[in-house]
Amino acid sequence: MDAGGGAGEQLSLAAVRDQLIREEDSIVFSLIERAKRPRNAPAYSSAGAGGSLAEFFVREAEVLHAKAGHYQKPEDIPFFPQDLPPPLFPTKGFPKVLHPSASRVCVNDAVWKMYFDELLPLFTADGDDGNYAETVALDFACLQALSRRIHCGKYVAEVKFKDSPQDYTPPIHAKDSNALMNLLTFKEVVEKVKKRVEKKARIFGQNVTLEEDTVNKQDGNARDSECKVDPKVLSKLYDLWVMPLTKDVEVEYLLLRLN
């Protein structure tokens, strides 16, 4: 988390939301990149030594990332945390703005399953072009962007708690997840987020030409069928998975907040 997380700065809901908006760009762009390649199913079958190429790539990439000093922040969490090496270079400590239990909150198993089982078939074309190594590198970028955005829910929960501890404390003590979920859900924000990511996919995913293109455009933007990723897939991704998982992170964090 960069916004509002600097030394001495107070974390604010506005700053955390700005960070989430920036993360949307990374998610939309990473999906657009992955959509260059078809599904490439052999990259996901367990033909290789022990697991799929996708799993092999993520495990090995995370080893490199850990050596380079990644995974020091509460929102940067590896998918395979077991036996990761320590950083080989000096890292700069980040100000600790969260409760220490934040490190125990992780929904990466759900992110992994959602990405491969649900999302991938929605935005990649059927087919196999043989570019498996490139494909799994693109998957890794998508997974990282999704996971980071979702785990930023820890900061959202912290500011919401700090803004009104009197509302959050009783359901935390009662371990009432449903009450917490209701408290932290803002329906107007949810609707805005869905509309904005759909619009971003429409704007970022259009072909840019120098000629005036009136045939393939509607209101100055590309028609959905011309976009590199269907904008409706983005609103569905956020509606069904990204926002619910972010809220799961928020609830899990809050349940540990008073430990």
Ligand X SMILES: C=C(O[C@@H]1C=C(C(=O)O)C=C[C@H]1O)C(=O)O
Shortest CB 140 distance to ligand X, Å: 23
* Cβ contact 220:125 at 8 Å: no
Nearer to ligand X, 67 or 199 (CB): 199
Shortest CB 143 distance to ligand X, Å: 18
Task: Print burial letters for 172-186: b (CB count within 10 Å at least 16), e (below 16).
Answer: beeeeeebbbebbee
Over its C-alpha atoms, the chain yields an Rg (Å, rounded) of: 20
Residue with tokens 């609707």: 191
Specify the amino acid at residue 76: D
Helix 132-151 × helix 153-163 angle, to 10°:
10
Token digits for 193?
């987020």
H/E stretch holding 211 reads: none
Nearer to ligand X, 53 or 193 (CB): 193
* Cβ contact 99:241 at 8 Å: no
Nearer to ligand X, 47 or 189 (CB): 189
Shortest CB 125 distance to ligand X, Å: 29
- Give the separation between CA 65 and CA 71, rounded to whole angstroms: 8
Nearer to ligand X, 138 or 193 (CB): 193
Shortest CB 185 distance to ligand X, Å: 4
Shortest CB 192 distance to ligand X, Å: 8
- Give the separation between CA 143 and CA 58, rounded to whole angstroms: 9
Shortest CB 16 distance to ligand X, Å: 7
Nearer to ligand X, 147 or 206 (CB): 147
Residues 6+ apart with CB under 8 A from 198: 231, 232, 234, 235
Shortest CB 181 distance to ligand X, Å: 9
* Cβ contact 257:161 at 8 Å: yes
Nearer to ligand X, 55 or 158 (CB): 158
Nearer to ligand X, 16 or 35 (CB): 16
Summarize as ranges the residues that interact with ligand X (CB under 6 A): 17, 20, 156, 184-186, 189-190, 193, 243, 246-247
- Give the separation between CA 239 and CA 198, rounded to whole angstroms: 11
At residue 73, φ and ψ (nearest 5 deg) are: -100, 150
